[in-house]
Amino acid sequence: MPLSKPRVRISVHSITAKLTWDNVPGASSYKVYYTLHNSSERINQLSVLHPSVVINNLTPETNYTAFVSCINVTHIGPPTIISFKTNAVLLMENMGSGTALYTSLPIENDDEKSLIRTSTGFAFGSSDTGLFVMSHFFKFATFSLGTITDKTHISIRLLDPSGDWSLNGFILQDTILHVMIENQTGWLNANAVYVAGITDLQDGGRVLTSSTDPHVRNITFGHTSMSGNVLVRLGINFVGYRQFSGISLHTSDETNLA
């Protein structure tokens, strides 16, 4: 009995693409390979037992073609051919956190920034400036997300070139995250990781470490409405590091300001 073509669905980000399909009767495995659009040269080929695969290390804003075939013991079925274009990467401006580790002011020399902007995200820079937390070394970047007016709650969402930043459990794994309403609050601990020398200041702000959305952190300022520029300071651990490209800010009415 000839093998059918799989009905492939695709979810595309900037540097990854996920292909999924239903199990095909008679198939014992699947072959996936991909090329640049209008090219016959294969970039990579994958053999998988289950009906899904993630293609990594793609180039942003680039056209590709993927081929998905079913395999049984004796032969390979005809491929499903799907063309796609990866998304652009929109990177935020790093305001600093280099030699003055937690500054909210711009730093002129990029080499002094602990995290520097690349074509697909932020990576460790050449500066040694950083902080040891629980025996791990972190480097930091500071971002301005926009202005809020008379808000008691905000939500922040981390993004990376492949979509949402992966969060594990109730804290940001291998990530330190702080939030400040400029001229209104001190740095608020947004993931309940204690860092020596950093404390929540007199405003009484607190951060909720749980959320119905695992990619979001919700911050409440109690009964006090806050107005001002929202700054986020983010530190990543080199050992557990993955690139990030931005942070979106939502007020309690879900208006995106970033």
For the entire predicted model, the pTM comes to: 0.63
Type of residue found at 146: G
Given a cut of 50, whether residue 200 has pLDDT beyond it is no
Whole-angstrom CA distances from 103 to 106, 110, 125, 185, 187 are 8, 14, 17, 14, 11
pLDDT of residue 214: 57
Secondary-structure class of domain 9-85 per CATH: mainly beta
- Interior CA angle at 83 toward 77 and 87, to 5°? 140
Given a cut of 60, whether residue 143 has pLDDT beyond it is yes
pLDDT higher for 31 or 140? 31
Domain(s) labelled CATH 2.60.40.10 in the chain stretch across: 9-85
Neighbours of 241 (CB within 10 A): 17
Give the mean pLDDT of 89-101.
63
pLDDT higher for 92 or 49? 49
Domain(s) labelled CATH 2.60.120 in the chain stretch across: 110-251
pLDDT higher for 197 or 64? 64
pLDDT of residue 13: 84
Contact 175, 237 (CB under 8 A): yes
Secondary-structure class of domain 110-251 per CATH: mainly beta
Given a cut of 70, whether residue 152 has pLDDT beyond it is yes
- Reported as a single tens digit per residue, the pLDDT across 26-70 is 999 999 999 999 899 999 999 999 999 999 888 888 999 999 999
Give the mean pLDDT of 122-127.
71
pLDDT of residue 210: 53
pLDDT of residue 181: 87
- Contacts (Cβ under 8 Å, ≥6 apart) of 3: 24, 26, 27, 70, 71, 72, 75, 76, 77, 78
- Name the pLDDT band for 79 (thresholds 50, 70, 90): very high
